[in-house]
Amino acid sequence: MPAPAPPWHHGPDTSQPHERPTRVPGPTRVPELPARPVARRFARALALSATALALCLAAPASHATAESSAPAMLAQRYTDTIDPAGYWVSEKLDGVRALWDGRQLRFRSGREIVAPAWFLAALPATPLDGELWIGRGRFDELSGLIRREDPQDPAWRAVRYMLFDAPGGTGDFSARLQALHAIVAAAGAPWLQTIPQHRVPDRAALQRLLDEIVAAGGEGLMLHRADARWQPGRSAALLKLTPWQDAEARVIGYVPGKGRLQGKVGSLVVEADDGRRFRIGSGLTDETRAAPPPIGALVTYRYRELTPAGQPRFPRYLRERTLP
């Protein structure tokens, strides 16, 4: 006998973009699921109280931490109206942003990153900005290591601190880049490196470099304007170029799966900071569908562009944000 539709069901399963606002289910009974470990986690996620869900939906867009955010220069998106000849270009690494203030290594949120003493001993007394990185396609491995907060973990031996700027440094980016090279040379530590920077003569050369990086498994490119002074916050002097766009949204519900996905999540119902609601089904693995990000979790997704209605076209789940 086919199982009845779960009481939290609120629409057909689809992995295509859903451009109309999705109604979020109210307090309901949680359906029984097979007694498997992943299914139990799914059940727990669905069993959040109506109060918790209401708090999640009412939460402001800014989720502040107890720590003060570390000052960082943030990128805008590159457009083909910009001449790249005036920029230094580097690979956009799929790592964890890390800011060194001369004493502690921190996330952008300001929270301290627990790293080995030997790793930090190579860092200077001056501020640095870069990415903790293991290699292309190994973000989950790195994220898990950092979340364990175990400075004795031997996996730290594979981590490199890839520098790309000196916050508050004097001079333009070209001068700061030379200062970073000097810092790395003086440290003599293999885990402290500068991200290779290149100059390209025109847009065609930039596109060829992007194609080469993406074909090799990279995410895209970062462009630093060579004559720009350092400044905190979003800046046109720092640009990112990828074949897709990415953003974050908060999980507010689930659409149940059908067919072979019976008893699992068909798609996530999410809400962006500005209140837009839509579904993400593409990119979810069977494991993630069985044990989805809980209500209230932030997830990262990728999309091609925004529709005229402002909804992401072809959103694809990338990962749950588990680091601050």
* Residues identified as active-site: 92
Length of the chain: 324
AA identity, residue 323: L
Phi, psi of 158 (to 5 degrees): -95, -5
Distance CA 132, CA 173 (A): 21
Amino acid (one-letter) located at 318: L
Indicate left, alpha or beta for 214 from its phi (over 0: left) and psi (-120 to 50: alpha).
Answer: alpha
Cβ atoms of 88 and 228 closer than 8 Å: no
CA distance 214 to 283: 18
Strand-strand pairing, 233-241 and 192-194: unpaired
246 and 283 Cβ atoms separated by less than 8 Å: no
SS3 150: coil
Structure tokens at 229: 């002074």
Return d(Cα 123, Cα 121) in angstroms, integer. 6
**E-only strand ranges, 123-220:** 128-133, 160-165, 192-194, 198-199
